[in-house]
Amino acid sequence: MRRKRRIHAAVAVITRRGRILICQRHHRDSFGGLWEFPGGKREPRESWEACLRRELFEEIGVAVRGIRTYGWMRHEFHDGIVVFKVFRCLIAAGRPRPLDARALRWVAPRQLLRYEFPPANRRLVARLAGG
């Protein structure tokens, strides 16, 4: 039996004035049109925090501060396993722009339930929304 490939990704729960930043995926991408938390895949030998900082700068054009671990998520797909390290943080510099996303939106935690997220994000959405 072939071993499933494992992907590591850093995910950010960025808050501002009680709202959380979410990104809409481009329609051309897998899970196109769905919403997600900013972040992305960790490169070989890259630290988790370095990955988070790089991905946030590349995807939404911001630098962050107050980084702290919020938890871990694991999701199994038919061809692989994704392990997410979730961080909470604040914007230190820059204004979020959809550089690698279709759209960005600041939403109250309970409003997260109104948006469609990929299966891998659903437990985090429920946790943040208070459910």
Question: CB-hemisphere CA count at 13 Å for 99?
Answer: 15
Set out the domains of the chain in order of their start, with CATH numbers.
Answer: 5-128 (3.90.79.10)
CA atoms 41, 43, 45, 46: torsion sign: negative
Closest listed residue to residue 54, CA positions, set 124, 46, 35 = 46
| pLDDT tens string 49-86 | 999 999 999 999 999 999 999 999 999 987 789 999 99
Does the structure show a pLDDT above 90 at 29?
no
CA separation (Å) from 122 to 54, 66, 74, 111? 24, 24, 11, 13
> Global pTM?
0.91
Percent of the chain scoring above 90 in pLDDT: 82
In 3D space, the residue among 79, 119, 106, 103 whose CA is nearest the CA of residue 13 turns out to be 106
Is the pLDDT score of 1 beyond 70? no
